[in-house]
Every structure is written in C-alpha cells, then in structure tokens.
Amino acid sequence: MELTGAEIVCESLLKEGADVIFGLPGGAVLPLYGALANYPKIRHILVRHEQAAAMAADGYARATGKAGVCVATSGPGATNLVTGIAAAQMDSVPMVAITGQVPRPYIGTDAFQETDVTGVTLPITKHNILVMKVEDVAQAIHDAFYIANSGRPGPVLVDIPRDVLLGAKTEFIWPETHKLPGYRIPGPADETEVIAAAALINQSQRPLIMAGHGMLISHAYSLMTEMAEKAQIPVITTLLGISSIASDHELNLGMSGMHGMAYANLAIDEADLIIGLGMRFDDRVTGRISAFAPNAKFVHVDIDASEIDKNVQTDIGVCGDLKSVMEQLLPKVEPNVHIDWLRHIQELKDQHPSHIVRQSEELLPQYVLQRLTEVTQGHGIVVTGVGQHQMWAAQHCLFREPNTFITSGGLGTMGFEVPAALGAQVGRPDTTVWSVCGDGGFQMTMCDIATAVESGADVKFAILNNKNLGMVHQLQDVFFEKDYMASEFSANPDFVKIAEAYGIRGIRVTKQEEVVDAVQQAMETAGPVIVDFMVKEDEIVFPFIPSGQSVNEMLEEPAHNGTS
Amino acid sequence: MAQINEIEQHTLIALVEDKPGVLNRVASMFRRRGFNIISLAVGNSEQAGLSRMTFVVNGDYRTVSQVAKQLDKLIDVLEVADISEARIVARELAMIKVSTTPMTRGEIIQIVNLFRANIIDVGGDSMIIEITGEGDKIDALYDLLSPFGITEMSRSGIVAMERGKSNGLTDGHKNNNVHSNGTGSS
C-alpha cells in the first residue's frame, strides 16, 4: 500500500486505536487534514483554541486510560498546545501531540509560522520526535504511543514537516517493534525490596498509606483497599489519588497537605510509617520537608526510579509497576488491627472536623459541591480547574468509583476545567461529567463551550462564581494585608446569557435551597448546561498550611479548631 | 533539589544514542534541574550508533544519584553509571598557547618536557603545547606557564574508563549503576 506521510499518520492512528483526535488546522498541518477527510473512523473534534485540544486530549486520556491525541499546526498552533502538554507531563498523563512543521528546506530559516517545537517542548514532554523522512512516520507514531502509554505515562510530541506529510507515496509498513534501546519499563519489583517494605509495614504501630495518581494509572486501587483493610491501615490520598478509595470508606482520611484535612495532616505528624504508593511527595503534600512526618520511616513505591529519594529520603524504596508491586506486597503484609492508632485518628477527626461544612445563611461553595455529589450519589466524573473551587471539590465531593476525579494537580492549570471535561465526556460518553469551574478559569477557556456544543459533549458546568480569583484573593487576604491587587472582577459576563448565546441552558443559583433543584435540572437537560452558582465572595479554604510551613502552622476554620 | 551538603566531584559515564538532539536533551536536563556540570566530553563509543558521554559533576551522593536517575530516564540514554568509587583512569587533553620570546623559549621547552607534554606548533612569538593527563596535572602546567603569558587555552573535558575487563556500564556493575528494574527494551 503506497501512501503519503499524512495518510501514514492516519493509518498509524487507527493501528494505535486512536479514534478521537482534538485539533485545529493550519497551513503546515493541512495535508494531514486532507487525509483525515478520507478516514471517517477517526473522529476529529475541532476546538476553538489549540490549548483546548491539548487539555481535551488530557481529559480524554485521564478518563479512559488511553493516550489522548491532539493536533495543531506549526508555530503558534504548536505553542498554544504548550500549557496543556506541560500539565500532562506534570500529572503523568499519556498524550500524543502531532504538530505540523514548516517544510524541511525552510527549517532554521525563521520561516512563516516556524517555531522550534521539539526545542520548546523538550523539557515538558516525556519524549519528542522530529520526523525528517516519510519512511519514519509510522515508526515515530508507533513509538510515540508506546512511550506515552507505558511506564510512567506522559506526553510525546511528534513534529512532522509539511513536505513529509505531503511526501511522495511510500510503502506503508507498520512496524511491529520499537527500536528504543534506552527505554526500559519497570515491571515487578526486586523481591528483597518488597520483603523489606513488608517488614516495615508489619512492624509499624502507626502506619499510613499515601495513595497517589499511580494508584489509578496502574489500577492498583482494589489491591490497596484490600491491603488497607487487611492490616487496618488508614489511607490518605494526594490530590490526584482522590477516588482511588471510596470517599466514605472508613479507612479513608481524605486528602492531606496544604489544604488537606486537618486530621490527615495531624495523623502524618504522628505516624511511624508512611507508605507512599504511586505518589511523589510533592511540596503541596509535604510542606516543609524537614518537618514532614518527623516520626516516620518511609516506604516509597513508584514506577519512576528518579522519584525515589528525590524529595524525601526513603528507608525502603521500591521501583516497579504499582499493581505488580501490590500483588507482591499484599501476601506479605500481615493482618493487623491497629486499634489504638485508629481510635486516636478518630479522636483527631472528632476534634478537627474539617470535612464538615459549617452551617451558614449564605451560599457557601463547599455546600454547593457537597449537595452536587449527593445528587449524583458520587457517580460520574468531576473535573475541576485550579484554585479554591478545586480544593473544595477535593475536600467535599463524594467519590465512589475509581478514577472519577480529574484535576490539574502538578502544573495547576487554570482553565483546564472546560476542555478537560469536554475530553473526559467524549472519552466516557455514558458518564455524567460535571465540570466544576472557577469564574476566573472558566473565562480562560470558555470559547470551547462551542466545541462542547458542536461535539455533543454532555458536560454540566458548575461555576462557583465568587467574582474574583479566589485563591489569589485568599492569599492576599492572609499574607498581603488584604491588598486585593488584580484579583477582583468588576465586569464578569452574565454566564446564563453566555449559555444562551451558545444555544444551551443556563441556570443561576443564588440561594442554598435552589442548589439541588438546579443540579437535577441540569442533569435532566440533554447537552451542556451552565449553572452559575453565585457563592459567598470572600470564603477562605481551610485548613490551610502556608507554603513552606508545617502542620504546626496549620490554620483551621475558626469553628473547627478543636475547641468546639 | 535538596541542599547540597558534602560537595564532591563525581564522574559519571553514559551510553547514549548517536542521534541529533541528544546532547541538547542531556544538557537541558542538567540546566532545568539545576545540576552543575564541571566537564562534559562526548564521542563515539566502541558500539556503532552509540556515543559515550563522560560527565564530571559536583554534588553530594544524593544529588548525584538524582542526576544519574534523571539521565537514565531520558529515552535516548541507554546506560548510566557513577564510576567515582571504581578504579578508573581519567584523562583530559588541553591545548595551551603561550607567548614566547627568544629569552623564554628554552625555559618553556624545559617545562614542557618535565610534564611530558608536546609542542605541536611553534610560531615566532608563541607556541601551542598539548598536554594529556588528569585535571591537576593540566592545572599545574597552566600555573607554571602563566608567567610567560597564556593567550589561549582549550580543554577537552575528562574522559574516563574503568580499569580491568568491566566496561563500567553493563557487566557486573550493579552497585554503581542507577537503580532500574528494567524488563529490557522491547
């Protein structure tokens, strides 16, 4: 079969099972669009801004576990992908980004719409490839998917010059193998390390599991829950580990860290063993490293050897695929009850009930989120942007199924909530997807509401509208003497009218008693809906451990400080 | 990165694919993570299609171990080893251009001979001296030649190799190799 470079890209995408791609065409990548017209099995979703293509591919990947694919043209098209690619890299999300490049003879001449995209994305991709020969296109796409999906997942960018896409017809040979001698994928761990880890677990009196994104990526959550139950070990989740254990599981202490549950942070302070599973001891989790879990030893399991001993010095580091390691570890962990430890944690929880939303006359954002997932009963997917609403969602939404919380953790990308929710819904069309938005983030990417409408993505947008950049406002409140420089919006648009302008339903909610009804109405309405929750404007996210501080400096909500 | 305590010099070697952009990937990783390269030398290895890099880096054990792991994570890097603790031979080449006069030429030649260095070019008022050896030997020659007026110097960076049969990377070197539970490449 003799094909052009562009046709080879399409054939390769089909071979990789990539049936959805998110993109926006332009000159250099146009030959690929010419070919796509003849490949109806590949669904192309046209975004309004390339940033949304990358973030939708990210949401798609997180929701399905398959690499998300985004396409952009050279120069500005490709640079618009950058934020989305960086977010995927930070959160270990499999993604294949395909960019058009100026024709080969023009490379290096500062040609129109030329950017050194492999150079630009070098530090924010797991790998990238500039394809200089049409015969190399299939191998490049095949390698890109393999690298993106395997090991610790991540984004891979494939940059293809226009003349390679157009190139003379070449025999299409699908490479069955990869020539990547420097790429190794950890499988099961070294047995001696697992035995040593199990010994520490079995000896510990006050152990805690900290479950991260790796738990969801490697589908190790059932084994983790089994281990937690077997040895009665409480589980803390990182932001990206949320939903790896049901919110209402008795051993789940929720999220820890900067805005984590007070009792989770206090438990870490007293633990004698931290079992980090598929997580990376990020600074938002640990605060000041020297004061983090001062009484604990560390067992750290991760597929990425470079994460072990990077942030905390571990006692036992185990490098391997988390599911395989859990299979090795589970039989070696002895049943235990940890009665005193669990009782103590319950006391901490009773004294510091940060999971409880306070009574208020006003429309509290926490209240909205709690009601919202009561209506959904913890089913479906919640996608968030970044900031206060994200932290409240992490604290107060109910999750019953694994991998149902999608959020930009590492990069902290505002505006993620709109396109990522769209991508997640396209990937899991039978699932209700709630995009929990800040009014700031929503306005960064709301142009892609059009994409949701056009593609029939049934996303429900819940804007927690406090008319300001809430997290910035909060930091100014606490650390900058309430100098609210550049954090208040005086001219937010009417989001209900925005909805109407896109031909979808908009609902405004100003009172507590309207919340449940609005959520139900949104879910009963076919297609995207925007619900504009006019929440209390100066609410602060508690608990709050200021950046670089420890649990000793933790601020709690006044009514929740343990004196009540 | 963590605070650098006991600063030490470590010698790392890496086997990398000989492809465009690999040096850039390696250098970019060092820059981005704030690691400090003292010297870097790259050239062909004994295997076709693979280059060998020798790095000298500053840092305590934990930092250097992190450097090695981050290097190993790059797709184009096949093997990395910290050979600082091994029995190694390390050499660097330098070319030093020094000003000469009829008065000083003899003295300079004496110094060159003392160091078993070579004079590879002689001009009317300068000569180029080539020296191979460990870093301190080159430093010592530099210091001795300085009073005559050094107008140019170029140093190659250190290349290093383990003594004995081991190639420093693959065979029998697990202790120095960075941690990896590879199932092998596909």
| Average pLDDT, integer, range A97-110 | 98
In CATH terms, are A2-171 and A191-351 the same topology?
A: yes
Q: Residue B166 falls within a domain, yes or no?
A: no
B30 lies within 8 A of chain A by CB: no
Does B3 score more than 70 pLDDT?
no
Does residue A396 contact residue A389 with C-beta atoms inside 8 Å?
no
Tens-digit pLDDT profile for residues B79-111 = 999 999 889 999 999 999 999 999 999 999 999
Which has the higher per-residue pLDDT, B179 or A468? Answer: A468
Question: Are both B14 and B77 inside the same structural domain?
Answer: yes
| Average pLDDT, integer, range A151-170 | 95
Q: Tell me whether residues B65 and A309 touch, CB distance under 8 A.
A: yes
Task: Give the closest of B66, B182, B186 to A306, CB-based.
Answer: B66
Mean pLDDT estimate for chain A: 97
End-to-end CA distance of chain B: 32
How far apart (Å, rounded) are the C-alpha atoms in residues B45 and B129?
27
Q: Residue B102 falls within a domain, yes or no?
A: yes
Model confidence band, residue A309 (pLDDT cutoffs 50, 70, 90)? very high
Residue B126 belongs to a domain with what CATH number?
Answer: 3.30.70.1150
Question: Are both B78 and B142 inside the same structural domain?
Answer: no
CA distance A109 to chain B (A): 18
Q: Tell me whether residues A185 and B178 touch, CB distance under 8 A.
A: no
Question: Which one-letter amino acid corresponds to residue A76?
Answer: P
A317 lies within 8 A of chain B by CB: yes
Q: Residue B61 falls within a domain, yes or no?
A: yes
| Average pLDDT, integer, range B2-14 | 74
Domain boundary assignment for chain A: 2-171, 191-351, 365-545
CB contacts of A308 in chain B (<8 Å) are 179
Q: Tell me whether residues A305 and B69 touch, CB distance under 8 A.
A: yes
CA distance A545 to chain B (A): 21
Q: Residue B170 falls within a domain, yes or no?
A: no
Does residue A499 contact residue A530 with C-beta atoms inside 8 Å?
yes
Task: Give the closest of A123, A126, A177 to B186, CB-based.
Answer: A177
Q: Which CATH number fits domain A2-171: 3.40.50.2300, 3.20.20.140, 3.30.565.10, 3.40.50.970?
A: 3.40.50.970
CB contacts of A123 in chain B (<8 Å) are 28-29, 32
End-to-end CA distance of chain A: 75
Question: Which one-letter amino acid corresponds to residue A342?
Answer: L
Question: Are both B77 and B95 inside the same structural domain?
Answer: no
| Average pLDDT, integer, range A139-165 | 98
Tens-digit pLDDT profile for residues A210-241 = 999 999 999 999 999 999 999 999 999 999 99
Structure tokens at A446: 């709301």
Q: Which helix (H) or strand (E) holds A208?
A: strand A207-211
B44-62 b/e with 16+ CB inside 10 Å = b? Answer: ebeeeebbbbbbbbbbbeb
**The predicted structure's pLDDT at residue A168:** 83
The interface pTM score, or ipTM, of the predicted complex is 0.91
Q: Residue B45 falls within a domain, yes or no?
A: yes
Q: Which of A182-196, A291-305, A448-462, B162-176 shows the lowest per-residue confidence on average (mean pLDDT)? A: B162-176
Does residue A352 contact residue A266 with C-beta atoms inside 8 Å?
yes
Tens-digit pLDDT profile for residues A9-56 = 999 999 999 999 999 999 999 999 999 999 999 999 999 999 999 999
Question: Are both B94 and B149 inside the same structural domain?
Answer: yes
- Residue A558 CB partners (closer than 8 Å, separation 6+): none
| Average pLDDT, integer, range A308-312 | 96
How far apart (Å, rounded) are the C-alpha atoms in residues B48 and B18?
9
Q: Residue B104 falls within a domain, yes or no?
A: yes
CA distance B30 to chain A (A): 11
Q: Which of A49-63, A382-396, A414-428, B8-22 shows the lowest per-residue confidence on average (mean pLDDT)? A: B8-22
Question: Are both B97 and B65 inside the same structural domain?
Answer: no
Does residue A238 contact residue A282 with C-beta atoms inside 8 Å?
yes
- Residue A230 CB partners (closer than 8 Å, separation 6+): A330, A333, A335, A336
Residue B53: give the domain boundaries: 8-85
Does residue A380 come out as left (phi exceeding 0), alpha (psi in the -120 to 50 range) or beta? left
How far apart (Å, rounded) are the C-alpha atoms in residues A1 and A173?
8
Q: Which of residues 242-261 of A touch B (CB under 8 A)?
A: none
**The predicted structure's pLDDT at residue B165:** 82
Rounding to the nearest 10 degrees, give the CA dihedral for residues A56, A57, A60, A65: -150
CA distance B1 to chain A (A): 7
Question: Are both B44 and B63 inside the same structural domain?
Answer: yes
Does B171 score more than 50 pLDDT?
no
Model confidence band, residue A558 (pLDDT cutoffs 50, 70, 90)? confident
Q: Which helix (H) or strand (E) holds B10?
A: strand B8-17
Of the residues B85, B104, B131, which one is the last residue of a structural domain?
B85
Q: Is A202 in a helix, a strand, or coil?
A: helix
Rg (CA), chain A: 24
Q: Tell me whether residues A305 and B76 touch, CB distance under 8 A.
A: no
CB contacts < 8 A (A, B): 76
Phi then psi dihedrals of residue A504, to 5 deg: -120, 175
Q: Tell me whether residues A146 and B186 touch, CB distance under 8 A.
A: yes
A178 lies within 8 A of chain B by CB: yes
| Average pLDDT, integer, range A407-431 | 98
Tens-digit pLDDT profile for residues A397-408 = 999 999 999 999
Burial class (CB in 10 A: 0-12, 13-18, 19+), A286: buried
Does B1 score more than 70 pLDDT?
no
Question: Are both B80 and B117 inside the same structural domain?
Answer: no
Q: Residue B32 falls within a domain, yes or no?
A: yes
| Average pLDDT, integer, range A431-445 | 98
Alpha-helix residue ranges (DSSP H) falling in A352-469: 365-375, 388-396, 417-427, 439-445, 449-455
CB contacts of A187 in chain B (<8 Å) are 181, 183
Of the residues B54, B85, B116, which one is the last residue of a structural domain?
B85
Q: Which of residues 103-132 of A touch B (CB under 8 A)?
A: 118-119, 122-123, 126-127, 130
The total number of structural domains in chain B stands at 2
Question: Are both B20 and B72 inside the same structural domain?
Answer: yes
Percent of chain B with pLDDT over 70: 87
What is the largest distance, in Å, between two alpha-carbon atoms of chain B? Answer: 66
Phi then psi dihedrals of residue A69, to 5 deg: -120, 130
Mean pLDDT estimate for chain B: 87
**The predicted structure's pLDDT at residue A560:** 57
How far apart (Å, rounded) are the C-alpha atoms in residues B163 and B182?
26
Token match 């880890």: residue? A197
Instruction: Name beta bridge partners: B96.
Output: B129, B153
| Average pLDDT, integer, range A437-457 | 97
Question: Are both B94 and B155 inside the same structural domain?
Answer: yes
How far apart (Å, rounded) are the C-alpha atoms in residues B119 and B109?
8
Of the residues B56, B85, B114, which one is the last residue of a structural domain?
B85
CB contacts of A127 in chain B (<8 Å) are 75
Q: Tell me whether residues B21 and A130 touch, CB distance under 8 A.
A: yes
B175 lies within 8 A of chain A by CB: no
How far apart (Å, rounded) are the C-alpha atoms in residues A488 and A469?
6
Percent of chain A with pLDDT over 70: 99
Q: Tell me whether residues A306 and B69 touch, CB distance under 8 A.
A: yes
**The predicted structure's pLDDT at residue A537:** 96
**The predicted structure's pLDDT at residue A1:** 80
Does A459 score more than 70 pLDDT?
yes
**The predicted structure's pLDDT at residue B184:** 34
Instruction: Name beta bridge partners: A276.
Output: A210, A300
Q: Residue B171 falls within a domain, yes or no?
A: no
Does A563 score more than 80 pLDDT?
no
| Average pLDDT, integer, range A449-477 | 97
Looking at domain A191-351, does it have CATH number 3.20.20.330? no
Question: Are both B109 and B152 inside the same structural domain?
Answer: yes
- Give the chain B residue whose CA is nearest to the CA of A317: B179
Instruction: Name beta bridge partners: B81.
Output: B13, B177
A105-143 b/e with 16+ CB inside 10 Å = b? Answer: ebbeeebebbbebbebbbebbbbbbbbbebbbbbbbbbb
Model confidence band, residue A525 (pLDDT cutoffs 50, 70, 90)? very high
How far apart (Å, rounded) are the C-alpha atoms in residues B21 and A330?
43
Task: Give the closest of B24, B62, B78 to A309, CB-based.
Answer: B62
CB contacts of B25 in chain A (<8 Å) are 122
CB contacts of B20 in chain A (<8 Å) are 130
Model confidence band, residue A169 (pLDDT cutoffs 50, 70, 90)? confident
Q: Tell me whether residues B77 and A181 touch, CB distance under 8 A.
A: no
A186 lies within 8 A of chain B by CB: yes
Residue B14 belongs to a domain with what CATH number?
Answer: 3.30.70.260
Strand ranges across the sheet with A95-101: A43-46, A20-23, A68-72, A95-101, A155-161, A127-130
**The predicted structure's pLDDT at residue B179:** 39
Q: Report the residue of B75, B82, B170 to disrupt the A interface, i.e. the one with the largest count of A CBs within 10 Å.
A: B75
Q: Report the residue of A159, A306, A314, A324 to disrupt the B interface, i.e. the one with the largest count of B CBs within 10 Å.
A: A306
Q: Which CATH number fits domain A365-545: 3.10.310.40, 3.40.250.10, 3.40.190.10, 3.40.50.970?
A: 3.40.50.970
Does B6 score more than 80 pLDDT?
no
